[in-house]
Amino acid sequence: MDKPIGVFDSGIGGLTVVKELIRLLPCEDLVYFGDTARVPYGVKSRDTIIKFSLENTLFLLQQNVKMIVIACNTSSSLALPVIRRHFKIPIIGVILPGAKEAVYATKNGRVGVIGTRATINSGAYEQEIKRLDNRIKVYSQSCPMFVPIVEEGWVSDEIALRVAQKYLAPLKGKDIDTLILGCTHYPLLKPKIQAIMGKGVRLIDSAQQVAQEVRQVLIQEGLVSKNKKRPTREFFVSDEVAIFANVASRFLGEKLGKVKRAQHV
C-alpha cells in the first residue's frame, strides 16, 4: 500500500527511529512530526501527555498515513493504550521492543533503564521486562536534562558529560550489564553514556527493534509499499524550522528538502 508511515516524537529524538526505518525499509514513504513547540514531554502530567499524543496522532492521520509509530518513550508509556482504543490503524510504541531486546541481551539479569521522569514514574519498562522474565532485577533512573541538551545540540559539550556523570552515578554501583536508553533522544548521547558506564555494559537503543516490528506488521497487514519510485519523506515541526532542519540533516546524513511548520497545535 503506497501510503506513508507516520512517526511522531516530542522533538528531534524520533529521528533515531526514522534513520532505522530508512535503513530497513528504504522503499517506504515517511511523514515525521516533531512537537518541538511543546518539548520536553517527560516533565508534564499524564493527562497533558495523552492530550498532546492524541493531537499528534490526528495530525498524522490528516497526512493519510497507513501506520503510526510513537517514537517517544513518554507517549508510549502513558498514551499508547488510549490511542489504540481510539484509532483502527496499526500503532506501534517503543517500550516493548526495547524491553524484549534487554531481556535477550542481559547475561547477569540486572538491567538499568534511563528515561524521562514521566517514563520512569510510569514503570512501563519494568512492567514489560518483568512480564517477559520476572527474575530480572530492574534499576531505573530519570534523566530529565538529557532531552534539552540534545534539542540544543549540546551533545558534544562538556555540560553533556557532566550531567551524564551525575545521572548515571547511581547505576554504576548496581552491577548492571545492560542499559536501556528509554528515550529516543538518548542515542544521540550514546558515546558519553558508553564512556561513563564502560564497555561491559550493553546499551539498548530501541530504534532498531522498532523498525523490525514495523516491518513485521507491514508484512502481516499486507501494507508493504509497492513503490518503485524514489520514496517521499516529509518533515513537520510545531515550532522553529531552521534548527530542526539543521540537526536532522546532519543526523540523517541527507538533505531533508523543505521542513514544514505544522499548524495543528
Residues forming beta bridges with residue 34, ordered by sequence position: 9, 237
CB 177 within 8 A of CB 108: yes
Q: Which of 103, 181, 183, 247 is catalytic?
A: 183
Secondary structure element (H or E) that encloses residue 197, with its range:
helix 190-197
Euclidean distance between CA atoms 16 and 46, whole angstroms: 24
- 27 a catalytic residue: no
Catalytic, 72? Answer yes
Among 22, 49, 70, 72, the active-site one is: 72
| Cα 21 to Cα 264: distance, rounded to the nearest angstrom | 25
* Residue of 18, 74, 7, 31 lying closest to 207 (CA atoms): 18
Q: Which residues are designated catalytic?
A: 72, 183
